[in-house]
Chains A and B, each alone.
Chain A
Amino acid sequence: MFWSVTQSLLSGLWTTFELFIFTLAFSLPIGLLIALATLSKFKPLSSLMQVLVWIIRGTPLMLQLIVIFYGPGLWLEQNIWSGDEKGRITAAVVAFTINYACYFSVIFRGGIEGVPAGQREAGQVLGMTKTQIFFRITLLQMVKRVVPPMSNEIITLVKDTALARVIAAQELTFAGYSFMKSDGITWPLFYTGVFYLAFVGLLTLLFNRLERKLSYFR
């Protein structure tokens, strides 16, 4: 029994990992773009982004997930997500990406605004372009500032992937829960928790390392 549970949980863990890694890979750059758009001097763009962030942060992620998975089928009368597990995972990644990009954008924005104006001005008087200033001066200082709040948010993402269960994606929590339903046993649920703890523990180690790496400057 222990082995079949372990196997099933490992496959759930893989799905959880996929949800996590794809969401992260897409939402980090998109979040940065949203942050830059919010800070843009072009008011319509900046306002549009603020409204988007308000809507996404103001509604439950679970609701967004349901809308994104079922919405297209109802409005377009044709489902854009394929009916199999792959389609469900893709839909979940899309929903998580939109949600997390918005949360990340707020953190990025704070990080960019936290870099003193004097840093940009020093670059300007040295004849650097806006792009050079962003990539050579602002970016790393921003990254250093956002690592602590980002690590919180990213750890939350690990646990939020469990929401994909509502559209029947067979992630880790789904796998653990299925044993309770079919065999009436609860210990796999605790075993599931162990997997999450290990995942989060690993991430915490990584973030501590990154923070130490960036501690060479102030």
Chain B
Amino acid sequence: MAILEVQNIEKKFDHTSVLKDVSFSLEEGSALAIIGSSGSGKTTLLRCLNFLERPDGGKIIVKGETLFDSEVKGKERESEQRRKRLHFGMVFQSFNLFPQYTALENVMLAEKMLAAEQSDYKANKKEILAGIEKHGMELLDQMGLAERMYHYPHQLSGGQQQRVAIARALALHPDILCFDEPTSALDPELTGEVLKVIRSLADQKTTMIIVTHEMAFARDVADNIIFMDGGVIVEQGPARDVIEHPKEERTKQFLSRYTNG
């Protein structure tokens, strides 16, 4: 069974439809790339999955549990919403690291907040915090940032900041990690280090959704690709097929801009 089922998602801003009947599913341990021109609704889709936007229609099902169903009305409790959010991790285009915290503190913050709500927190505070710190250090080490743990975001390059953001998103063990154009805000010479990290996550069978403009990367790293245009999924399929042998005219046109440019 698929780890994620997205069914008939609709999203309107004011009266313009930004997502129209978007449906797809994602297998555990696979990587999905979403490509498409500017304004096609890719960011909006990720924001819907992360509950930063509320879809106007459709369902989101993770591991068989319906996290969102537009048919179900009424407000949810904050704790319930938070629990659902934790199925997803999000890496933003502009990193959004917390400037007042070091790289390590950025990674540990949410885990600390969650731990403090556990009933056994007071009794085992020391061990719990030590465990969180160890975990944070391991994650940063895995991102190749062992030397930069105590640096503040403004002391890091864009590529390093984005890798801290990836470690931060991984800290809470999300089922599905979402990336919104993780390298678009970076200087060209810094994109490589971030793509390398994402590639190694794919090798470790991390379930991921990656919105990207890097076609070669999408082809090599993703298992499947979705091409979006004007708020609809125009084409989806295995990565190689979509990139090398697109079926739809609109996909061909879109891709030709990358091969010729």
Contact = CB atoms under 8 A, between A and B. Distances in A.
Interface string B134-174: 00000000000000000011100000000000001100100
B98 A122 contact: yes
B40 interface: no
A137 B98 CA distance: 7
A127 B114 contact: yes
A115 to B, nearest CB: 10
A119 B92 CA distance: 10
Interface in B54-97: 78, 82-83, 85-86, 88-90, 92, 94, 96-97
Interface string A108-141: 0000000010110111111111101000110011
B85 A141 contact: no
B63 to A, nearest CB: 17
B99 A218 contact: yes
**Interface core residue of B51, B92, B113, B169 (most chain A CB under 10 Å):** B113
Contacts of B113: 126-129, 132, 136
Contact of B85 (A127, A137, A140): A127
Given A132-B113, A217-B154, A125 B52 contact: yes
A216 B150 CA distance: 12
Contact-size category for B: 20 to 34
A144 B154 CA distance: 15
Contact of B52 (A124, A128, A137, A141): A124
Interface in A129-163: 129-130, 132, 136-137, 140-141, 144
Given A216-B152, A217-B152, A218-B99, A125 B78 contact: no
A11 B78 CA distance: 54
B109 A217 contact: no
Interface in B199-235: none
B6 to A, nearest CB: 17
A122 B96 contact: yes
B188 to A, nearest CB: 23
**Interface core residue of A119, A125, A136 (most chain B CB under 10 Å):** A125
Interface string A8-49: 000000000000000000000000000000000000000000
Contacts of A123: 110
B100 interface: yes
Nearest to A129: B78
Given A118-B94, A217-B152, A129 B82 contact: yes
Contacts of A140: 100
Contact of A122 (B83, B92, B100): B92
Contacts of B78: 129-130
Contacts of A217: 99-100, 152-154
B102 to A, nearest CB: 9
Nearest to A143: B100
A136 B110 CA distance: 10
A131 to B, nearest CB: 9
A118 B97 CA distance: 9
**Interface core residue of B52, B88, B99 (most chain A CB under 10 Å):** B99
Nearest to B111: A126
Contacts of A126: 109-110, 113, 168-169, 172
Nearest to A125: B90
Contact of A128 (B88, B110, B153): B110
B8 interface: no
Contacts of A124: 50-52, 85
Given A126-B172, A218-B154, A121 B110 contact: no
B172 A121 contact: no
Contacts of B99: 141, 217-218
Interface string A94-105: 000000000000
**Interface core residue of B51, B52, B88 (most chain A CB under 10 Å):** B52
A137 B110 CA distance: 11
Interface of B: 50-52, 78, 82-83, 85-86, 88-90, 92, 94, 96-100, 109-110, 113-114, 152-154, 168-169, 172
